[in-house]
A and B are shown apart, each in its own frame.
Chain A
Amino acid sequence: MSEERTKAEDRRERVLPIAEARETGPDARSIDRRHALKVMALAAAAPGLASCGPGPGGEAGAAGASAGAGGIPAGGTPGQVTNPNARGDLWDPDLLSPVVPWQRTLEPGELESLAVLCDVILPADDRSPSASEVGAHDFIDEWVSAPYEALQEGGVLIRGGLVWLDREARTRFGNGAPSASVRFRDLTPAQQQAICDDICDPERAEGGPFEAPSLFFDRVRYLTLTAFWTTAEGMDDLQYIGNTPLTQWDPPPPEVLRHIGLA
């Protein structure tokens, strides 16, 4: 409700409204530039971070210019039908047989660490598998590798954050061991939680030493939520019912009306 722009507001800008039942997403416009500045600040503050990201690439090019030659299929089953009317570039993609036309850029070690973090964020339980078991870390790789400036800035944040996590692991739990021997992904669940408890709430972390890492954690969590709940396992867990043709549309069932007190 504040009239001043807050970090919370910056974060909320990534959570687009469901207005008019339109499908929404990470429009580059929706991610505030100030957020990118914070990313840069994080990179500058942590030694070794500046060199590991893809860098602030230019604005994504015009039609087709930025599509790599990868042709990596998307996470799901590519459609059996293709659309001959579509040009197949980013402005006019084949909607019937979608592909991710850019190369993924994260390195194997980064993906390994990311998978562990994704599972800390959404672990397996008796209703569904963990986030990494349904490929959340691969989706984040797809996201940070996309030919969009704001998403690549997110990639800088995430890659830098992974380095920070390992450094924090070494600082807290390394016991003076040689630098490469302790990584976040090797910690015990309790140790991982100890670190994450400090960076899980950007509002609480604001202005303190964990501010930048909290933005990293928040971004990974945001993407992990999308990645996990959009899978078949995630939708089953939620008991989403729909996307299936009906012969007629009925009012909500009685148990639903009772639930909202309108029976």
Chain B
Amino acid sequence: MSSRTQDSYDAIVVGSGAGGGMTAYVLACSGLRVLMLEAGRHYDPVAETPMFHLPRDAPLRGGGTRHKPFGFYDATVDGGWEVPGEPYSSAEGTDFRWWRARMLGGRTNHWGRISLRMGEYDFKPYSRDGLGFDWPLSYDDLAPWYDKTEALIGVYGSNEGLENTPNSSPGVLLPPPAPRAEELLTRHHCGDLGIPVIPAHLAILTRRLDAARIARTLWPGNALAQRVTEESMAARAACFYATPCGRGCSIKANFQTPTVLLPPALATGNLDIITDAMVREVTIDARGQAAGVHYIDRNTRLDEHAGARVVVLAASACESARILLNSKSSLHPDGLGNGSGLVGKYIMDTVGAGVGGQIPALENMPPHNADGASAMHLYMPWWLYQEQAGGQLDFARGYHIEFGGGRRMPGFGFMGGLAELTGGSYGQRLKDECRRYYGSFLWFDGRGEMIPNEDSFCEIDPEGVDRWGIPTLRFNWKWSSHELNQARHMQHTFADIIQAMGGRVTSDVHDDGARAIAAPGVIIHEVGGAMMGDDPRTSVLNQFCQSWEVDNLFVTDGGCFVSNADKNPTLSILALAWRASDYIAEQLRTRSL
């Protein structure tokens, strides 16, 4: 993509995903000159998204492979659980899977678009139950940026006023799409179980954004920011309820940084982007402040350097930790900003467990379009606060439920479990059974909070190096009984829901949480490793994502997370990055940096 056109920059942003995209957008809109470095290739969703392409046109009918784990059409380039030439390792007994994508926009191109706010409890978990750590800010501190982020990217959902499930300000959310048949049926039966089923919050436009009004509201008194935001927003279409979001969206109806944040940032004229730029380390000046970054140009394989007044890492939680740990000097022998020794520590993923079911009431369904907004229209927020407070549960913290099924487009593995369900049927009977059962399968997934622990961390592998000559990461992982018991609770709850619906459970329900829980990293919500806090001895960053030791060094990806609530992290990464970027802009403006 664009080569460097300026000799010096106010800020270098490493990474173009949620954190980097938002940081570059806010800084460029604030009039600062920004250089973005992306390790992967240029990627343009408008030109490259395989909208409407069918499984039958793809190799293996679009099924997943080691090169494309989420299927052929998934918007992941040079990524997945492995990246060619960029290995990582795991300590003995650890089976951590690290998902990366090497492309402009990073994982925002394929993500699930689920956009849930952390609630007031989620910022102060230690105060509530004595486990983990409190954040150095409260929900109220971040709420204005949640509003701004939702207004900017477009999020559908509703305000239900449920415990620890915050409302957005009036007029911020877009209307949620009407529930599908299987979602309505699930909601009906969950009512009997006392499980709330409410509209999901997803970063998908159910109608065009009111570009002029929103741009004015987001950027009062900033004509440049208003203009680029309005123009970019006006170029986004509303969802037309077809073709999976995970492929990306050429009509820009869902959120990914290359369609939503990078175009307005570029339109300011303040942003340059260099792709194929793999950052190795942050360099420092004589005072120990950040001077810039060394990166390897993937095309020439040459080491390059770029300088700026501020360096912002947003390479993803573990990748940013890797860069910090690899930035060793006599002033910072254990890595940059690592005086606390906590860089790479307290990595968290989300607790995940699932159960499938077959629902007779959904058999022989009259044909109808059930595509919808591709992902879920309804979900279940955590609901057992009182039981937990009353000591009735054997784990701390909660989970929400994501679910789906119904008459979706057949793809790889379609009806794969039917033979087993029908006693090994084949022939005309199998064909008829497929027609009967089509659309009658549901899947429930729990997404729950992991409590940070000191046995879950990443470090530089003394024996590992990637094809760019950069030392690689080694992961260590341990679940506590809270996570394992929670995973077991998930599976049993899903079985209860399926049975309440009159259905059959079609997958295993384990009493051993270690067998119910998804392997670490598999949910792809890894956060932490550069924890924020209010004490330099016990945290890496302050509440503005600023290094305690290196004033002009920031980390605006998921690395700053202190806890990992059941709410999917991307929306919070975006809001925290915006808040931090406002702080950076202010500090640069007042020459404090």
Q: Contact between B510 and A226 (Cβ–Cβ < 8 Å)? A: no
- Residue A208 at the chain B interface, CB threshold 8 Å: no
Q: Contact between B511 and A231 (Cβ–Cβ < 8 Å)? A: no
The stretch of A46-54, A172-180, A242-250 in contact with B is A242-250
The stretch of B323-331, B359-367, B390-398, B571-579 in contact with A is B359-367
Per the bound structure, the CA–CA distance linking A203 and B423 in Å amounts to 8
Per-position 1/0 for A241-260, Cβ under 8 A of B: 11111110111110111011
Q: Contact between B63 and A26 (Cβ–Cβ < 8 Å)? A: yes
Per the bound structure, the CA–CA distance linking A238 and B415 in Å amounts to 12
Chain B residue contacts of A193, Cβ below 8 A:
427
- Residue B508 at the chain A interface, CB threshold 8 Å: yes
Per the bound structure, the CA–CA distance linking A15 and B407 in Å amounts to 17
- Residue B72 at the chain A interface, CB threshold 8 Å: yes
Chain A residue contacts of B373, Cβ below 8 A:
249
Per the bound structure, the CA–CA distance linking A148 and B505 in Å amounts to 31
Q: Contact between A245 and B402 (Cβ–Cβ < 8 Å)? A: no
- Residue A93 at the chain B interface, CB threshold 8 Å: yes
Interface centre among A62, A143, A243, A244 (most CB of B within 10 A): A243
- Residue A19 at the chain B interface, CB threshold 8 Å: yes
- Residue B464 at the chain A interface, CB threshold 8 Å: no
Task: State whether A93 and B72 are in contact (beta carbons under 8 Å apart), knowing that A24-B413, A139-B61 are contacts in the complex.
Answer: yes
Q: Which of A176-204 contact B (CB under 8 A)?
A: 193, 196, 200-204
Shortest distance in angstroms between A16's beta carbon and chain B's nearest beta carbon?
Answer: 6
Shortest distance in angstroms between A154's beta carbon and chain B's nearest beta carbon?
Answer: 12
Q: How many A-B residue pairs have CB under 8 A?
A: 326
Q: Contact between B365 and A24 (Cβ–Cβ < 8 Å)? A: no
Shortest distance in angstroms between B60's beta carbon and chain A's nearest beta carbon?
Answer: 6
Per-position 1/0 for B45-71, Cβ under 8 A of A: 001111011111111111111111111
- Residue B223 at the chain A interface, CB threshold 8 Å: no
The stretch of A32-40, A71-79, A106-114 in contact with B is A71-79
Chain B residue contacts of A201, Cβ below 8 A:
419, 423-424
The stretch of B157-165, B180-188, B477-485, B551-559 in contact with A is B180-188
- Residue A86 at the chain B interface, CB threshold 8 Å: yes
Per the bound structure, the CA–CA distance linking A260 and B360 in Å amounts to 10
Task: State whether A230 and B411 are in contact (beta carbons under 8 Å apart), knowing that A1-B508, A146-B65, A203-B420 are contacts in the complex.
Answer: yes
Q: Contact between B362 and A260 (Cβ–Cβ < 8 Å)? A: yes
Task: State whether A18 and B404 are in contact (beta carbons under 8 Å apart), knowing that A8-B420, A95-B73, A243-B242 are contacts in the complex.
Answer: yes
- Residue B376 at the chain A interface, CB threshold 8 Å: yes
Per the bound structure, the CA–CA distance linking A77 and B52 in Å amounts to 13
Shortest distance in angstroms between B404's beta carbon and chain A's nearest beta carbon?
Answer: 6
Per the bound structure, the CA–CA distance linking A121 and B434 in Å amounts to 12
Q: Contact between A1 and B509 (Cβ–Cβ < 8 Å)? A: yes
Q: Contact between A91 and B78 (Cβ–Cβ < 8 Å)? A: yes
Q: Contact between A21 and B244 (Cβ–Cβ < 8 Å)? A: yes
- Residue B515 at the chain A interface, CB threshold 8 Å: yes
Shortest distance in angstroms between B237's beta carbon and chain A's nearest beta carbon?
Answer: 10
Q: Contact between A120 and B56 (Cβ–Cβ < 8 Å)? A: no
Shortest distance in angstroms between A49's beta carbon and chain B's nearest beta carbon?
Answer: 23
Chain A residue contacts of B445, Cβ below 8 A:
17, 19-20
Task: State whether A21 and B245 are in contact (beta carbons under 8 Å apart), knowing that A125-B431, A143-B60, A230-B56 are contacts in the complex.
Answer: yes
Chain A residue contacts of B247, Cβ below 8 A:
95
Total number of B residues with any Cβ neighbor in A under 8 Å: 113
- Our pick among B60, B364, B407 for the contact of A240 (Cβ within 8 Å) is B407
**Which residue on A lies nearest to B356, using beta carbons?**
A17
Shortest distance in angstroms between A145's beta carbon and chain B's nearest beta carbon?
Answer: 10
Per the bound structure, the CA–CA distance linking A128 and B69 in Å amounts to 32
- Residue A69 at the chain B interface, CB threshold 8 Å: no
- Residue B169 at the chain A interface, CB threshold 8 Å: no
**Which residue on B lies nearest to A134, using beta carbons?**
B56
Chain A residue contacts of B419, Cβ below 8 A:
200-201, 218, 221-222
Q: Contact between A23 and B246 (Cβ–Cβ < 8 Å)? A: yes
Q: Contact between A22 and B60 (Cβ–Cβ < 8 Å)? A: no
Shortest distance in angstroms between A226's beta carbon and chain B's nearest beta carbon?
Answer: 5
Shortest distance in angstroms between A117's beta carbon and chain B's nearest beta carbon?
Answer: 10
Shortest distance in angstroms between B261's beta carbon and chain A's nearest beta carbon?
Answer: 19
Chain A residue contacts of B425, Cβ below 8 A:
200
Per the bound structure, the CA–CA distance linking A121 and B427 in Å amounts to 4
Shortest distance in angstroms between A242's beta carbon and chain B's nearest beta carbon?
Answer: 4
Q: Contact between B430 and A122 (Cβ–Cβ < 8 Å)? A: yes
- Residue B507 at the chain A interface, CB threshold 8 Å: yes
Chain B residue contacts of A244, Cβ below 8 A:
242, 369
Shortest distance in angstroms between B503's beta carbon and chain A's nearest beta carbon?
Answer: 12
**Which residue on B lies nearest to A252, using beta carbons?**
B181
- Our pick among B77, B427, B428 for the contact of A91 (Cβ within 8 Å) is B77
- Residue B288 at the chain A interface, CB threshold 8 Å: no
Chain B residue contacts of A98, Cβ below 8 A:
53, 57-59, 72
Q: Contact between A225 and B418 (Cβ–Cβ < 8 Å)? A: yes
Interface centre among A28, A221, A230, A241 (most CB of B within 10 A): A230
Q: Contact between B47 and A83 (Cβ–Cβ < 8 Å)? A: yes
- Residue B42 at the chain A interface, CB threshold 8 Å: yes
Q: Contact between A25 and B61 (Cβ–Cβ < 8 Å)? A: yes
**Which residue on B lies nearest to A25, using beta carbons?**
B63
- Our pick among A17, A83, A218, A235 for the contact of B443 (Cβ within 8 Å) is A17
Q: Contact between A25 and B413 (Cβ–Cβ < 8 Å)? A: yes
- Residue B370 at the chain A interface, CB threshold 8 Å: yes
**Which residue on B lies nearest to A148, using beta carbons?**
B65
Q: Contact between B427 and A123 (Cβ–Cβ < 8 Å)? A: yes
**Which residue on A lies nearest to B69, using beta carbons?**
A27
- Our pick among A93, A226, A246 for the contact of B413 (Cβ within 8 Å) is A226
Shortest distance in angstroms between B65's beta carbon and chain A's nearest beta carbon?
Answer: 6
- Residue B167 at the chain A interface, CB threshold 8 Å: no
- Residue B301 at the chain A interface, CB threshold 8 Å: no
Per-position 1/0 for B256-293, Cβ under 8 A of A: 00000000000000000000000000000000000000
Q: Contact between A20 and B402 (Cβ–Cβ < 8 Å)? A: yes
Q: Which of B329-368 contact A (CB under 8 A)?
A: 354, 356, 361-362, 364-368
Per the bound structure, the CA–CA distance linking A252 and B244 in Å amounts to 19
Other A-B pairs beyond A22-B74, A250-B178, 16, CB < 8 Å: A15-B416, A21-B376, A23-B72, A23-B74, A26-B413, A27-B66, A91-B78, A91-B84, A93-B68, A127-B435, A146-B60, A202-B424, A242-B370, A243-B52, A243-B409, A252-B370
The 9 residue pairs across chains A and B that have the minimum distance between CB atoms: A25-B63, A201-B424, A23-B71, A76-B57, A245-B240, A239-B367, A25-B412, A25-B64, A242-B371
Chain A residues proximal to chain B, CB less than 8 Å? 1-3, 8-9, 11-12, 14-29, 60, 62-63, 74-79, 83, 85-87, 90-93, 95-96, 98-101, 120-123, 125, 127-128, 139, 142-143, 146, 148, 193, 196, 200-204, 214, 217-218, 221-222, 225-227, 229-232, 234-235, 237-247, 249-253, 255-257, 259-262
Give me 5 A-to-B residue pairs in the complex whose CB atoms sit less than 8 angstroms apart, sorted by A's number.
Answer: A74-B59, A128-B431, A204-B423, A221-B430, A242-B371
